[in-house]
């Protein structure tokens, strides 16, 4: 993990603090630092950090493409951030009126209640928590491919339904995090077993979550129309699409009656887009689709909603 620490060249106290972090942080974290005498754009192009840690008041225009942590150190800041780190409980209470996600890491240069080592280990845990948040943009294509394959295998219970040319390497850490917050861990576990893939034990999951996030809860009854209604109302967790896939695969489904009911409820214009998402995520076969899938504006809206579900 690569951290770029940013601070003002005129603040010697912060320079000392950042130098301590760069020298004492465990080797698992690659620490780098720049001050405001550098060209920020060139620094980012050369360093490619996983996280930018801003110390104090820095007037740089940093895009939202980067995960930003702010340690105000008593100074004013107006940057958006994944998390803001206060130096004390008193500072945390003061910052709570402005920022939603706050942590406290005491500065060993200002208090004897902590040490350089403790400070670095607390920051390391926060860095890890930031990179373990909203992991979908960080997941590689092989992991995503295998996730879809394991979902289909977990749904069908039969590897013969899964058209997979080769088994790809899987970033299990990120997949476990994503599956947990999407409510599909059991299906991933079952799918891995069906495909004969060895799944490591999941680690303790700790992530920052958006305020709108609600933990997915399985529906008691997999009624097709009710699930579609849930999705249209904004419940776009993968669990809901998995449940819809299961409902559509039932042998007793009356497709003409279902399409009639959806038309009566004015859901018929949304349904083809939902089927397209099923085609992409659970790999539902068109033979189980009551109508053809469509890739249109509403499909893109669903993709965006799903992508933003865990976005900070």
DSSP states along 194-240 = HTTPPPPPPPPP-----TT-------SS--HHHHHHHHHTT---HHH
Distance CA 265, CA 229 (A): 9
pTM of the predicted model as reported, rounded to 2 decimal places: 0.92
Domain boundaries, the chain: 2-131, 134-208, 211-312
Which whole number is the average pLDDT over 13-30? 94
Quote the CA–CA distance of 152 and 135 in Å, as a whole number.
Answer: 21
Q: How many other C-beta atoms lie within 10 A of the C-beta of residue 268? A: 14
Burial of 119 (0-12, 13-18, 19+ CB in 10 A): buried
Spell out a b/e string for 126-141, using b for 16 or more CB atoms within 10 Å of the CB, else e: bbbbbbbbbbbebbee
The architecture in CATH of the region 2-131 reads 3-Layer(aba) Sandwich (3.40)
N-to-C CA span, the chain: 19
Annotate 94-142 with DSSP letters as a single string: HHTTT-SSEEE---TTT-TTS-HHHHHHHHHHHHHHHHTSS-GGG--HH
Integer Cα distance of 46 and 40 in angstroms:
10
The Cα angle at residue 32 between residues 27 and 34, in degrees rounded to 5: 165
Predicted pLDDT of residue 10: 85
Sign of CA dihedral 15, 20, 25, 31: positive
pLDDT confidence of residue 271? 98
Q: What is the structure's pLDDT at 203?
A: 84
Residue range 279-283: mean pLDDT, rounded: 98
Query: What pLDDT was estimated at residue 59?
Result: 75
pLDDT given at position 64: 66
Q: Which residues pair with 31 in a beta bridge?
A: 3
pLDDT of residue 233: 96
31-86 pLDDT per residue, tens = 999 987 677 777 888 888 999 999 998 877 776 678 999 999 999 887 789 999 99
Distance from C-alpha of 229 to C-alpha of 219, rounded to nearest angstrom? 12
pLDDT at 228: 97
Rounded CA separation 204/16 (Å): 34
For residues 56 and 16, the answer to whether their CB atoms sit within 8 Å is no
Q: In this predicted structure, what is the pLDDT of residue 252?
A: 84
Per-residue model confidence (pLDDT) at position 40: 76
Higher-confidence residue: 131 or 8?
Answer: 131
Please check whether residue 86 is in contact with residue 111, taking contact to mean a CB–CB distance below 8 angstroms.
Answer: no
| pLDDT tens track for 72-99 | 999 988 778 999 999 999 999 999 999 9
CA–CA separation, 108 and 104 (whole Å): 13
């Amino acid at each position: 993990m690569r951290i770029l620490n940013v601070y003002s060249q005129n603040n010697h106290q912060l320079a000392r603090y950042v130098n301590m972090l760069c020298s004492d942080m465990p080797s698992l974290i690659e620490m780098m630092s720049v001050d405001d005498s550098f060209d920020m754009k060139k620094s980012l192009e050369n360093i490619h950090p996983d996280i930018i840690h801003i110390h104090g008041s820095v007037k740089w225009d940093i895009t939202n493409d980067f995960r930003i942590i702010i340690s105000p150190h008593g100074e004013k800041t107006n940057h958006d951030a994944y998390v803001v780190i206060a130096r004390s409980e008193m500072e945390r209470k003061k910052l709570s009126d402005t920022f939603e996600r706050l942590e406290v890491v005491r500065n060993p240069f200002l208090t004897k209640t902590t040490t350089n080592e403790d400070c670095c280990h607390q920051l390391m845990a926060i860095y890890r928590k930031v990179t373990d948040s909203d992991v979908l943009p960080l997941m590689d294509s092989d992991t995503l491919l295998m996730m879809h394959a394991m979902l289909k295998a977990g749904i069908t219970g039969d590897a013969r339904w899964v058209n997979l040319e080769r088994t790809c390497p899987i970033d299990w850490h990120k997949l476990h995090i994503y599956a947990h917050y999407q409510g599909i861990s059991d299906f991933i576990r079952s799918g891995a077993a069906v495909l004969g893939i060895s799944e490591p034990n999941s680690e303790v999951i700790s992530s920052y979550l958006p305020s709108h996030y609600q933990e997915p809860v399985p529906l008691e009854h997999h009624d097709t129309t009710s699930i579609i209604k849930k999705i249209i109302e904004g419940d776009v967790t993968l669990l809901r699409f998995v449940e819809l896939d299961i409902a559509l695969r039932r042998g007793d489904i009356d497709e003409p009656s279902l399409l009639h009911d959806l038309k009566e409820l004015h859901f018929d214009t949304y349904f083809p887009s939902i089927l397209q998402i099923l085609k992409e995520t659970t790999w539902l076969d068109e033979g189980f689709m009551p109508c053809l899938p469509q890739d249109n504006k509403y499909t893109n809206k669903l993709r965006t909603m799903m992508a933003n579900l865990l976005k900070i």
